[in-house]
Amino acid sequence: MKKLFTLLALCFGLLSAYAQEGVTYTLKTLTFEDADYVSDSTNYLGHRNWSSLIDNPQYGGTLLYGANHGNPSQPYTSVNYKWYDRDNTFLYSELPLNWNTTMYWGGGHAISNYWNGKLSEGDYLHQLSVYVPNNASSGRNGHGHNGSNNFCVHYGYHDNSGYSAENLPSFKFGDGVARTVDHMYVNLTTYLVNCLKNGNSLTAALGPNDYLKIVASGYLDGDSIGSNELFMARYGNILITDWSEWNLSNLEEVNEVYFNIVGSNDNGYGLSQPAYFAYDDVAVRFPIEGRNDINNVVNTKKEDSGEVKSFKIIPNYNRKTKVYSATATGDVPEGMTVSFESLCKSSFILSPGNSSFITISGMPSTCTITGISSVVSASLMGGAGLITAKEGDTQFAFLAFHGESMTEEHGIVNDYGIEVSDKKTSVNFTFPNGNYQVGGNDITLFAQNVNIVEKPDFNTNIYINEYTVYYTDSTTSGITEMKSETENTAIYNLQGIRIDNPVKGGIYIINGKKVIY
C-alpha cells in the first residue's frame, strides 16, 4: 500500500510540475548582447558578435547606407545589412527592398547601443539613440532593457499616401520553422520623443486628439494571420517612458512578423512623425518534447462523490489545413464532444466586429453547471468582448469585459463589464439565476468583439484563449450513502486507519467500499 501511495504521489507531482499554467514550452531570448552570440557562424561582416553591426555615425554610416554595407569584399548587388540569431531564437532580419535599393532610409532593423537624454539632439542625426528621460547627457552602452548594452531600432512605415515605403521591415525565423514570439520590450527613441513633444519642420507636435502606434502583423506560409498593436502615444500623452513589455503571443505560430507605424499626424505627405521605435529581449517559444505524453502517466477514472468537477476547452485553428477544432481535457463527461468555429483565422484572436463560438454536445442532463471561466485579454484600450452561455434559446450565463480604461470624454464606456489588461487573465462568468441544470441539448459559448468606443481608430482586438466549465454530476458511481445496517461495521478513513467516531458527511471505507457517512 505504501508503494502504491508513493507512486501516485510521484505521478501527481509530475503532473503538477508539467501542467502548471499549461506551460509546454521554454523561452529563448534574443538579447543582442555579445556574450549571448552563441553561433559558431560569423555575421555578414565576418565577426562573431552583435556590436560589430552597430553603425557609426548613426546617420550616413557605411553599414546602413554604404554601397557594400560595410563589407567591401562583396559587390554592391550581393550584400545587405542583416543579422541572424542562429542556434538560439533563429530570428533573422535584413533591410527591405524599397525604391530599388536596400538602405536604412527605406526602413529596417538596426543594432544599436546609443542613448541620449537631450531632446535638443532629438533629430535624424541621432536616429539610433534610445531616449533616457531625466538625463542631460548622451553616450553608448548601459541603456538597453535591464541595463544591457545593445538593442535594435526599427525604422519604416507604410500608408496610403503614395509617399511611403512599399515593403515593411520585419524579422522572421531564418531556419523556416514557424514559432510563437512570446514577447519583446519596446522603448522610444530620442528623435521620436522630441517630435512628439515639440514637433519639427516636418511634423507638428502631438495634439490632444493624436495617436501613434506600432502594428505587428504575423504571417504564416505567406498568409496574414493576425495583428497586434501597441500605442506609443495617445490624446497628447506619451504612453511609453521606459522599456515596456509587449505581449505578442496572441499571434501564435508565425514564420515572419512585419512592423508598421501608424499615426494621426499627417503633413500632406502621409505620416509625419518619425517612424522609429527601439526593441530588445525578444523571447521565442520552443516546445518541450514529450510533455504531451505526461497526461498518460496517470489515467484513472475518478469516483463521483458529488464534488465539483471541471473540464477545459481549448479552441484551435490549423492555419495550414484551415480547419477549426476544439479539445476538451480534464473531467470530461462520457460521450461529450466540443467544436469550435470563428469568423477569424485564429484560435483565439477576435478582431473588431467578429465572433466565434464553442459548441458543447452531449453533456448529460444529470450535470449541473456551477461556473464557467475564460482566459481573456484585450491588447489595448477600447477593446471589449461579450461571451454568452446558452442551451438552445436559454441564456444562463455571460461574461462582459473591456480593455484598460480611459475617461469617458475620450469616448470609452468604462462601465462595460470587467476591466482586463493585455496579459492573459482568468475571469468568471456571471450566473444571474444561480447554478444551471443541463437539459441535454447543445450548449453554446458565443463570443463577440463588441464596439464600446465612439472613434473607430480605437476599436481593437480581444483574445479568448480557453474556457473552463465547472459542474457536478448526480450520477452515482461507486460512492454510496451509509446504510443503517452498517452502523456496527468497522469504519476506516482513506488512509486505512480505523475510525471510532466518523463525522457525518465524511468519506470512509466500509466493507471495502468508499461511502459517504
pLDDT in tens, 123-136: 999 999 999 999 99
Q: Please tell me the predicted confidence (pLDDT) of residue 23.
A: 57
Q: What residue spans in the chain does CATH classification 2.60.120.1350 cover?
A: 25-287
| pLDDT tens digits, one per residue of 174-229 | 999 999 999 999 999 999 999 999 999 999 999 998 999 999 999 999 988 888 89
Bridge-partner residues for 82, per DSSP?
Answer: 94
Mean pLDDT (whole number) for 153-180: 96
Mean pLDDT (whole number) for 245-264: 94
Sign of the torsion angle spanned by Cα atoms 89, 94, 95, 97 = negative
How far is Cα 76 from Cα 97, in angstroms, rounded to an integer? 14
Q: Please tell me the predicted confidence (pLDDT) of residue 15.
A: 33
Mean pLDDT (whole number) for 12-32: 62
Which is more confidently placed, 121 or 377? 121
Mean pLDDT (whole number) for 407-417: 58
Give percent of the chain with pLDDT exceeding 70: 80
pLDDT category of residue 453 using cuts at 50, 70 and 90: low
Q: Please tell me the predicted confidence (pLDDT) of residue 479.
A: 40
Is the confidence at residue 466, as pLDDT, over 50? yes
Mean pLDDT (whole number) for 65-81: 85
Q: Does pTM top 0.95 for this prediction? A: no
Q: Please tell me the predicted confidence (pLDDT) of residue 16.
A: 33
- Candidate ranges 272-281, 309-318, 370-379; pick with highest mean pLDDT: 272-281
Per the prediction, the chain carries an average pLDDT of 85
- The answer to whether 384 and 378 are in contact (CB under 8 A) is yes
Mean pLDDT (whole number) for 319-325: 88
Instruction: Please give the class, per CATH, of domain 309-473.
Output: mainly beta
Which is more confidently placed, 7 or 165? 165
- The answer to whether 184 and 249 are in contact (CB under 8 A) is no
Q: Please tell me the predicted confidence (pLDDT) of residue 511.
A: 58
- The answer to whether 159 and 270 are in contact (CB under 8 A) is yes
Which of the residue ranges 46-50, 343-347, 371-375, 470-474 would you say has the lowest mean pLDDT?
A: 343-347
Q: Taking the CA of residue 218 as centre, how many other CA atoms within 13 Å lie in the half-sphere pointing to its CB?
A: 23
Is the confidence at residue 475, as pLDDT, over 80? no
How far is Cα 72 from Cα 61, in angstroms, rounded to an integer? 14
Is the confidence at residue 47, as pLDDT, over 50? yes
Q: Please tell me the predicted confidence (pLDDT) of residue 293.
A: 37
Q: CB within 8 A of 54, min separation 6: which ones?
A: 63, 110, 111, 112, 113, 114, 128, 150
DSSP annotation string for 2-39: HHHHHHHHHHHHHHHHHHGGG--EEEEEE---GGG---
* CA 513, chain centre distance (Å): 48
Is the confidence at residue 491, as pLDDT, over 50? yes
Bridge-partner residues for 214, per DSSP?
Answer: 230, 261
- Name the burial class of residue 396, with classes exposed (0-12), middle (13-18) and buried (19+) by CB atoms within 10 angstroms of its CB: buried
Q: Is 447 helix (H, G, I), strand (E, B) or coil?
A: strand
Is the confidence at residue 14, as pLDDT, over 60? no
| pLDDT tens digits, one per residue of 340-361 | 999 988 888 888 889 999 999 9
Phi and psi based region of residue 251 (left: phi greater than 0; alpha: psi -120 to 50; beta: remaining):
alpha
pLDDT category of residue 291 using cuts at 50, 70 and 90: very low
Q: Please tell me the predicted confidence (pLDDT) of residue 243.
A: 97
How far is Cα 400 from Cα 381, in angstroms, rounded to an integer? 15
pLDDT category of residue 17 using cuts at 50, 70 and 90: very low
CATH topology of domain 25-287: Jelly Rolls (2.60.120)
How far is Cα 237 from Cα 209, in angstroms, rounded to an integer? 10
- The answer to whether 45 and 71 are in contact (CB under 8 A) is yes
Q: Please tell me the predicted confidence (pLDDT) of residue 492.
A: 64
Mean pLDDT (whole number) for 237-251: 92
Amino acid (1-letter code) at residue 244: S
Is the confidence at residue 91, as pLDDT, over 80? yes
Put the strands of the sheet holding 211-220 in their side by side order: 82-84, 91-94, 170-173, 256-263, 211-220, 223-234, 237-238
Is the confidence at residue 263, as pLDDT, over 80? yes
